[in-house]
Structure 1
Amino acid sequence: MELASASSVKRPRQATACNWCRSHKLKCDAEQPSCKNCRRRGMECVTTDLRRQGLESRRVEPLGRHRKRNSMISQTRQSESSSSLPTPSIFAVPFNDVTRQEQISDDVSRQYTADVSSQEPSSTATGLTLVTDKSSSRRQMIRSGSSMYVLVQWLDLFFTNQENWNAIFPYFQQSLAYSTEVPLSFPISLPSLPPPKETKQYISIFFTRIYPVFPILHQDTFSESVEHLRVKLTSQLESKDYPALACAYAVFSSAVDEADGHPTELGTQYLEGAYVLYAHIVAIPYLTSVQALLLLIIVLKNRSKDGASWGILGQAIRIAQSIGLHRHVPSTSEIDDLHSRIWWTAYILERTMELETGRPSAIRDDECDQILPEIQAPDVYFGGLIRLSKIQTRAIDLLYGNKHHPKSTRDILLEMGRIDRALTDWANEFPESIKPGQQLFCASEELHLATYLSIHYHQTIIALHRPAFLSAPAWLKDRIDEHCAGTPWGDRLRYSLCIGSTSARAILKALSDLLLYSRLSRIITVNQMLPAILVLAIYMTKIPNSLMHNSDMAMLSTFALKMEKEYLKMGQDAEFATGLGVLQRQIAEHVTSLKPAEGQTTVQLQQDPLGLAPQDLNLGYLDEAWPALWNEDLTNFYTDDTEQNMLNMYLLGLPPIEN
């Protein structure tokens, strides 16, 4: 196939997706009289003309994506192909050229849809994914590289032609409300501080089990502050006391939950007490306010409310910058060391959440010169997280860097190798008993800290090697062989698929070991398990004859079931939790249906997934297109161009679509 014949201008997409598929961001097969998604759910298939709001139609004629063009369009294509304009990259423009309209459920009136759609910001050419749940009011725009969503989208794309596959992306969108919202009751009064004996216990729990990775308080100063507040609560608090009170509530909330191993009613009361003081915290924007906000973030993240945490983290960073915590002021005082610890805690949280979501950061490294805090023996975990966050910054720049100045395939692969080597060197700095990437065998009282550190390491590995999960194995191996030959990391990059799946298994095993040899900690959340589940699902999909399938499937099933129960227990949307069960069941059915040829026990990565020999493709053209893959919304993957679809699918390692 000659790529030179491709059109120099991308052909317009026909907006034939029905209302239901469009509102749930699913691929619509446009069959008549009903698409597959609507037919499976027993729904009437209705298509609204997005260019002329208010006009509806039922399917009365074939509207396939690949129908023949009329003569005028054919003439236009011939004219375009004969022009001297260079052929654009496959991903140079978004897959969906039609401005996306508001994603509204079918039960909302067409008049309301028209009113809202006129105000809808276009996500065209932004590399953003619109996430919306079953309500008409909740929505978020996220970078398309978000770990959870991009992996889910790839699975839906891979199985789009299989009748027994129900799309899982709509299920995962339902996590939006729980993640971002913190329902609060109207405060009649603030919670009382716990009695002195319980206060001492809570402070001990916090500084023993949580402080080593979030060292943003001084224990003696905090204890004195609590007793000062206890006295003032009997009379009248001043405005400057509220940030300190919020710190106390947040510490007690995290400690109560940590002691129980699960979110508790008492912990919720203290969380609500801290949250209702939010206005008072930001109204007095000084050091204690930053501490209060960071503690509130920790409690929210421990309850898997990452969306709510993100907004508060931005506020905390802005206040920290306004009082100069991001800058180094030469001094040897203990206060300055605390300032450094507070700043680097915010930095770690920012980089962790940025790597997970792809959202823009509030921190620019070139404007920060805060020194590292003094690291003592007990601070090994915090110091390790700081160094890891600096490596994560490089991975973030690689995955979500400025799309106006895209990197070449060669640059991406070489930088991937350098970052991977940096991660390996980072892990080798730790003692054998807590070394990330290996079996942990430290004392049980610190096993949760070593597990937390190890999980963050493996999450970074998975994010870095994500291209291997979203690309055609044969093509990627060929590119690595060409661009990384002779480099110290070329051999390791060839095993990216295995490295990512190994990290996924390690995350799940680390949690299992923690339950076996110690006890759960709230700093290790169920959200951290989710990428591991998705990575294993993709690995079993891409490697159909792996001898690890049975054990991987058992691991996926066990943890998917546990995660489903945990999400329901904490109050997550039931439909989102159900999605984990749907994913597990469908992957199990897929694995069961695989019957490798007799005697075939290894994966032949050189075999092209689409049956196209690499020499039949213009690799230089694909080299130009591949880097933009990480900034596109895969929910709008398909175009009206059969040839272009085939090339897109080749890059992503997807099976051919059905005409």
Structure 2
Amino acid sequence: MSNNASTSSNGNAVDAQNNSRTVSRKRKVHRACDYCREHRIKCQFDQPDICKHCLDWEIPCERVAPPPRDTRPRKRLMSKSLEAEDMQDIEPVYLGGTSISQLVWFFCPATAKSKLHALDVKYDLYRGALCDSDEQGLLVGRESKALKRERLGATSLNTALAKLAESVGAETVLQNLYDTASERIIPIFPVISKHESLINDQPDEKYWERFVEMHHNSAPPTPLPGIVRIIHCALAAMSREVPSDIRQNILSTLQNLLVGPELDRIRRTSTIASVQVLVSLTICDELSGNGISSSWLQLGEAIRMAQELALHRNISLDLVPLAQRNRRARVWGACICADRWISLRLGQACMIDLDMCDTPGPQAYPDHVKDFSSGRWSPSFRFLGELTQMSVLLGRVYKLTSSPYGLFKADDSSLLIAQTEIDMWVAQLPKAWPYSPTLQTYDAAELINVFCVALEFTLIRPFQWPVGAIPHHIIYRPAPQRWSVLVSRARQATAWAETASGMFCLDVWSNVTYPIICAFFVHIRMYEQSQTEEARSFIERTDDVIQGWAAILPDSPSRGKIAAMTKLLRETAGPTTSSPTNSLSIITPGGSLVDNWLETVTNGVPPMQNVGMPNSRNDNGVMSHENNTLDHLDLDLGAHLNAFGGDCSFDFVL
């Protein structure tokens, strides 16, 4: 009896299970009509041939259009094909002979070349990629993930600022960062002045304490984009004094805005404000999230905008008010500075041809000031004016000494004139750098000295560290005093970079990194020649500065690469196996540098000997070794001592 009961119960369970399967079977879904499908309306059929919506509205209910293609099974394959298409566009990038990656090769001893080659493999560097010379440039591979960015939904700037204030803990944190930028960043590179950085805000108490002066004509006719405030906060946040989580939050917010509609609006139309924003983004390579490559591209876009707006031309005051014309000159001067220094760092050709420009340089005083004699206004933009003059000289020296042709397209007169102009520019530098009656331009003298290291290094490098034989037609040699002055400058630069203010500038302004590494190369050569503990200590101290700079962003491949290379040179630095033929004597500086080179050239050929390279072609196209003196040069030095001459006529009002 119990067996029958259990059997019947099992049978009932099976029947119930079968019934449940039958009940849960999915009903056939009618295909939506064309109208409902097009308008995304739920299509319900009360009758077999017409849906409820079409019946109610008396619309023809048709099912003629083909159904949309279902791509769900193909999404994985489609994503792979899109990724493959992206990979097709990732070509290697070029670094020229003045790039740090290339300069390291010159200073690396032969015994350490294998270790340097291992770093090349790690960082995807391809030396020997150029046909004619392995020592004039290299190619760098790029990973696809470096170009991928997370594109978020369109977010307003106010929403981004509110979220940022919440993520960093308080709005006062952002205000403190902006105050730091106002005091320590804007004065040294005022592509956006303090007045312009206020945007729509009214000056607060701190503003009047620091800047005292304000004039409505020194502000732009329309406020700058609000993203300027985040850029300044991000620049200040790059300091190692700022906690890493705050820095990362600000950078993430800025980079998300840069890949969204905010930057699209800036790029859509050429305006002075757009130029200012794009140039500001090049101050620090990490702002855009893709290193110096992004800075290079954004600067090119800014320069094209500036040229479209004729910032490179001297516009008449009949058409443009005085304050606006001075603002145009200030922004164009910032474009020149950024172009020359980023081109030098990358070893690329400069983008601005100064032969096509006639605008005056940046005015030292606020944009609206016409009469400087009253003494009421401080020379707020004096540092930018001097930096622009230096950048013009740097561009000329860079073109003479560092082109792919080396010194073959240079001549003695151009080299002598460039050297003289550098010396005369240094001689007229001011002792004080006031930005306002109560604020000095932050570390202006020290920054000028640091940038002079790179300028002098670029002039001396082809003679002190020649890539090949010096052409026979080049009689010019740098005066011996220049080397000792460069060594002194390099030591001052290292000592300053160890201070808190030096570290701040190194963290915030990427262009400062290059001169510090040039100083590192100078210390290596000095140690090779002198073998003193003092010279060795400067190598170690400079490398410690570079390692500390790289440690701020441990995930940055560019900083890691530079730190690894300088560490390798520090470990392998030692005496030279043989004295190079083309070395400058190390002597105690004495007299002016201008007097020294005049004495050198009038005494005949300098002690640095030519290495059997022909110098010029005669009328028959045959290489000639004649006229190996400076008597054949037609130098009108007086015409060049008080003007830049050649590149552009810069009539600086200082």
TM-score bracket relative to the smaller structure: 0.5 to 0.7
Do residues 154 (structure 1) and 106 (structure 2) align? yes
Contact 1:337 1:374 in 2 (8 A): yes
- How many Å apart are 1:399 and its aligned residue? 2.5
Do residues 353 (structure 1) and 346 (structure 2) align? no
Structure 1 match to 2:361: 372
Contact 2:494 2:516 in 1 (8 A): yes
Decide which of 475, 496, 515 is 1:483's aligned counterpart: 475
- How many Å apart are 1:216 and its aligned residue? 2.8
Structure 2 match to 1:425: 424
Structure 1 match to 2:230: 249
Contact 1:261 1:521 in 2 (8 A): no
* Cα deviations by residue, 1:219-251 (Å, 9 ceiling, x for unpaired): 445424369xxxxxxxxxxxxx99713323212
Do residues 384 (structure 1) and 386 (structure 2) align? yes
Decide which of 132, 147, 151 is 1:186's aligned counterpart: 151
2: CA distance, partners of 1:213 / 1:412: 35
- How many Å apart are 1:585 and its aligned residue? 5.0
* 624 and 495 in structure 1: CA distance in 2 versus 1, 3 angstrom threshold: farther
Question: Is the radius of gyration larger for structure 1 or structure 2?
Answer: 2
2: CA distance, partners of 1:322 / 1:407: 34
Structure 2 match to 1:92: none
Contact 2:526 2:535 in 1 (8 A): no
1: CA distance, partners of 2:490 / 2:566: 16
Contact 2:239 2:508 in 1 (8 A): yes
What stretches of structure 1 of length at least 5 have no aligned partner?
1-114, 121-135, 228-240, 436-442, 485-489, 597-602, 609-613, 626-659
Counterpart amino acid of residue 374 in structure 1 = Q
Correspondence 1:237-636 to 2 at 5 A: 244-257=225-238, 260=241, 264-276=247-259, 277-300=262-285, 305-331=291-317, 332-376=321-365, 377-400=379-402, 403=405, 408=408, 411-432=410-431, 446-471=441-466, 483-484=475-476, 492-494=478-480, 498-513=484-499, 515=501, 522-523=508-509, 525-541=512-528, 543=529, 546-548=530-532, 550-573=533-556, 577=560, 580-581=563-564, 583-584=566-567, 587-591=570-574, 619-621=611-613, 623=615
* Cα deviations by residue, 1:21-42 (Å, 9 ceiling, x for unpaired): xxxxxxxxxxxxxxxxxxxxxx
Secondary structure, counterpart of 1:216 in structure 2: coil
Counterpart amino acid of residue 150 in structure 2 = S
Contact 1:147 1:463 in 2 (8 A): no
- How many Å apart are 1:624 and its aligned residue? 6.3
Contact 2:312 2:357 in 1 (8 A): yes
- How many Å apart are 1:369 and its aligned residue? 1.6
The 10-residue stretch of structure 1 (204-213 or 259-268) with the greater mean CA deviation from structure 2: 259-268
Number of aligned residue pairs: give it.
443
Length-normalised TM-score, structure 1: 0.56
Give % identity.
14
* 365 and 319 in structure 1: CA distance in 2 versus 1, 3 angstrom threshold: same
Length-normalised TM-score, structure 2: 0.57
Secondary structure, counterpart of 1:298 in structure 2: coil
* Cα deviations by residue, 1:333-385 (Å, 9 ceiling, x for unpaired): 32222121111111111011223333123212122122223213232211111
Structure 1 match to 2:589: none
- How many Å apart are 1:162 and its aligned residue? 7.5
- How many Å apart are 1:512 and its aligned residue? 2.3
* Cα deviations by residue, 1:276-301 (Å, 9 ceiling, x for unpaired): 23322211332221122112222436
* 299 and 164 in structure 1: CA distance in 2 versus 1, 3 angstrom threshold: closer
2: CA distance, partners of 1:301 / 1:460: 24
2: CA distance, partners of 1:320 / 1:261: 34
* 531 and 565 in structure 1: CA distance in 2 versus 1, 3 angstrom threshold: same
* Cα deviations by residue, 1:72-106 (Å, 9 ceiling, x for unpaired): xxxxxxxxxxxxxxxxxxxxxxxxxxxxxxxxxxx
2: CA distance, partners of 1:459 / 1:374: 25
Secondary structure, counterpart of 2:541 in structure 1: helix
Secondary structure, counterpart of 1:142 in structure 2: strand
Decide which of 217, 227, 237 is 2:192's aligned counterpart: 217
Do residues 139 (structure 1) and 92 (structure 2) align? yes
Secondary structure, counterpart of 1:457 in structure 2: helix
* Cα deviations by residue, 1:113-171 (Å, 9 ceiling, x for unpaired): xx99xx99xxxxxxxxxxxxxxx95621233x224233222235x51698888665556
- How many Å apart are 1:312 and its aligned residue? 0.5
Counterpart amino acid of residue 429 in structure 1 = Q
Counterpart amino acid of residue 155 in structure 1 = F
- How many Å apart are 1:467 and its aligned residue? 0.9
Secondary structure, counterpart of 2:443 in structure 1: helix
Secondary structure, counterpart of 2:360 in structure 1: coil
Counterpart amino acid of residue 152 in structure 2 = P
Counterpart amino acid of residue 103 in structure 2 = L
* 554 and 279 in structure 1: CA distance in 2 versus 1, 3 angstrom threshold: same
* Cα deviations by residue, 1:472-523 (Å, 9 ceiling, x for unpaired): 99x87x979x924xxxxx6x53455555544433332221245589987622
The 10-residue stretch of structure 1 (425-434 or 335-344) with the greater mean CA deviation from structure 2: 425-434
Contact 2:282 2:299 in 1 (8 A): yes
* 515 and 361 in structure 1: CA distance in 2 versus 1, 3 angstrom threshold: closer
Contact 1:217 1:338 in 2 (8 A): no
Contact 1:340 1:373 in 2 (8 A): yes
* 427 and 606 in structure 1: CA distance in 2 versus 1, 3 angstrom threshold: closer
Higher-RCO chain (CA-CA 8 Å, sequence separation at least 6) = 1
Correspondence 1:67-82 to 2 at 5 A: none
What stretches of structure 2 of length at least 5 have no aligned partner?
1-83, 126-139, 203-221, 366-378, 585-605, 618-654
2: CA distance, partners of 1:162 / 1:517: 31
Contact 1:417 1:493 in 2 (8 A): no
